[in-house]
Amino acid sequence: MILVVTEKNDAAQQIARLLSESGKPKADKVYNTPIYRFRKGGDDWVTIGLRGHIMQPDFPPELDYSKEEGWYGLTADGEHLPANVPDSLQKPPFSSKRKPYLANGIDIKGWKIPSLPYLVWAPIEKQPAEKEIIRSLKNLAKKADAVVIATDFDREGELIGSDALKQVRSVAPDVPVSRARYSAFTKAEIDHAFDNLVELDQDLADAGESRQYIDLIWGAVLTRYLTMARFSGLGNIRSAGRVQTPTLALVVERERERMAFVPEDYWVISGEAEHDDTPFKITHATARFTDHDAAETAFSHVDGAKTAAVKAVEKKSRTQRPPAPFNTTSLQAAAASEGISPARTMRLAESLYMDGLISYPRVDNTVYPKSLDLRGCVRTLSSVPQYAGVCRQILGQEKITATRGKQETTDHPPIYPTAAASPDRLQPAEWKLYNLIARRFLATLMGPATIEGTKVSLDINGEPFTATGNVLAKPGFRAIYPFGLRKDDQLPELAEGDVCAVNKIGLDAKQTEPPARYSQGKLIQEMEKRGLGTKSTRASIIQRLYDVKYLKNDPAEPSQLGMAIIDALTQYAPRITTPDMTSELEDDMSKVAEGSDTQTNVVTHSRALLAGMMGGLIDHKEDLSNAIADAVTADAKIGVCPKCGKDLVVKTSAKTRGSFVGCMGWPDCDVTYPLPKGRIEPLEGDAGVCPECGAPRIKVHPFRSRAYETCINPACPTNREPDVIVGECAACKAAGKHGDLVAHKSEKTGKRFIRCTNYEECGTSYPLPQRGELHATGETCPECGAPIVEVVTQRGPWRICVNMDCPSREKKASSVRGRGRGRSASSSKAASKTSGSRKASGKSAAKSSGARKSAGKAASSRKEK
């Protein structure tokens, strides 16, 4: 059996379909992972799709030190990972016994500023990110006679393939392994790739892994520093990184230029003339008057004029060359001009690629390879009605010659359509992008366009005026590619000596404009120009800046917090905000890909660069905290206080360290509200004000649940729920009394619970899930006698015993644990879903620190670009 390993399930399905010589591949599963079986060349073949990276880099929980070993990372399994920590950092025993200081080392799992210099040098371990897929892959590898790695051919794809290969080698050390490289999901391309197998490029994989490690180190250290330097706000992580921070700095620098810009007054005299019933615009030959008196004088000469005499007509033609083929950056820029953000462009392009409609979308190349059948591609597109006419024209040429861009590589061709598509079979956004790519491809095979420009000079009462217009005289490539083309500004046929009627004329006061903000497309291009990120990462970096609220709107505008962070870092660690160091590290990683440097050297170099800045950052922690204080407060704004009109912001209790919403008018205004569990997002405009009570409305993103909108005020009529009697209190009944068990929602805290009407005497109460419509069932639990209630959520009805100490819970958990290998973890989660959500209500004191730890682990593990 020959095993083919692809990057995603869709790719596994496509490759099986294209290679199969036995009809439609048979869909099967190994454990819970889909696979596809087929026959080719007399052999049994199986394709399996991964889910991107199946291994994820992370730090061990702590760094320990011993005189015998020196510094080492201690993993959760007790393994020792050597760490090259500089002698300049203090060794145990430490004078302080508080975390992060430990008896034998440093806790680097928790978010503590003193641990950051050590985190810079912490070793990195690769941990399974997709255990089920790895299990399935190993199962198939044991039975395989040969393995073909068929992940995408770039640094990320080569790394994913390399990680998969290591898992294969762990169970089948001698199985032959080869690599298939392809650029499109077409029959010809896939057949060629599998007929010409090569070896996996370990240098390229090491370059991808170097980026993983470097981005993890920089992202974790800088993000923790910025978040903990001023811990407040909406609970959002204040993200930073090697590429992200200088990218944000570009936007902030442009915004500072705009803020510093001093507008200058100028005046424009313009109007409308007409000839042969065709109106056209006219402007004074002095396009901008900087002297108001001169403008007034000139206008006084033409005010009320009825005719204009044509003094000269000048015509010039200019040639507009066809565009170069699309690479990733130029596609993102062109799509952004059509209203598709770079991040969405890449998602759509990936979908089109997986459907076999376009070639691989992550490329630098702008030169079609000689092996690409351009005429065949045009024939394919000729079946699309929108392109048929132009395709016939191109196919009628004796020789088809394509334009060439400045970048030429040999990994993948530029982005081009590989199959015909129809707007009826694609989503509107997918068709919009496909149409852009198809038209660009055809445009690169066509001739130049000729644009004829006309300039008319006129005289109005002795004052010189002009009129200009452009006409597409020869469409050329513009017949198929209208994007970015200005509409014809048609002028009437005019000759020297003609007299035109003046319809209107006026004097307008204007001001010079500041430099324009970066559109997302322009920002992508600027990042490429300055060596920030790669073709695969730039879109996600920009999207990340929007996600963490550093940027807003398009064109990109920095938030107050984004500007404050860049200003503070520029003052205390300026190299972090410049592209120079990032470009230097990009060059280092390119050397790894070329085999002229090693991963160890490059990662160590990046650690040294970051370590050189940490001392200054930690020394100025309080200064930076103060510098971003106002911006953090602005970032924490929930809305406006309905009582006094001042801002309501998220605050942290000095006593409990818990978060709540309080008024900035305190102590004169005592308005406070509790915070629901989850990430909080203020709503804007009218949607952000409750029509019932005037308090702010927010969007809550609970962990692993759908987001919902609510009023922040628990006492608001929109949040009130009627009390529901769910049963009789068993304790009161045993004492000879009657007590109703009532489900109630507190108007003070917003929490839901069940409590006996005789609670002061019997003390009977139960917690409840905080979301979902509650119904009494009239039933009692056969194990403990507590009420059984029904909670209706978006996933459907959910029947539960409300007693957290019910014996049935222990029985169920024990039963789940004994069901069999591979199911216990997920099944236990399902069994404890109810109790986990409610037990959390008794852990409010640890809520703040627990949230930070959880967020810290997620941020450390996330690949920060």
Question: Measured at the alpha carbon of residue 451, what is the angle toward residues 450 and 453, in degrees to the nearest 5?
Answer: 145
Which of 360, 434, 481, 766 is catalytic? The answer is 360
Q: Are 151 and 7 in contact (CB under 8 A)?
A: yes
Question: Which residues share a beta bridge with 791?
Answer: 774, 798
Closest by Cα among 517, 568, 528, 492 to 225: 568
Residue 434 annotated to the active site: no
Q: Per the structure block, which two tokens stand in for 686?
A: 């009218």
Q: How far apart are CA 696 and CA 212, in angstroms?
A: 41
DSSP string, 31-46: TTEEEEEEEETTEEEE
**Number of helical H runs and strand E runs in the chain:** 26, 34
Q: CB within 8 A of 405, min separation 6: which ones?
A: 324, 325, 327, 330, 365, 366, 367, 414
Q: Which residue has the tokens 């080492």?
A: 72
Question: Which residues share a beta bridge with 747?
Answer: none
Q: How far apart are CA 652 and CA 301, in angstroms?
A: 69
Residues, the chain = 865
DSSP string, 543-557: HHHHHTTSEETTTTE
Q: How far apart are CA 774 and CA 84, in angstroms?
A: 57
CA atoms within 13 A on the CB side of 823: 12
Q: Per the structure block, which two tokens stand in for 708?
A: 């919902």
Q: Which residue has the tokens 């003094």?
A: 311
Q: Are 617 and 572 in contact (CB under 8 A)?
A: yes
Q: Is 315 exposed, middle or buried (0-12, 13-18, 19+ CB in 10 A)?
A: exposed
Q: How far apart are CA 651 and CA 639, in angstroms?
A: 13
CA atoms within 13 A on the CB side of 297: 8
Q: How far apart are CA 620 and CA 612, in angstroms?
A: 14
For 138-167, give one letter per residue: b (16+ CB within 10 A) or e: eebbeebeebbbbbbbbbbbbbbbbbbbeb
Question: Which residues share a beta bridge with 787?
Answer: 780
Active site residues per annotation: 360
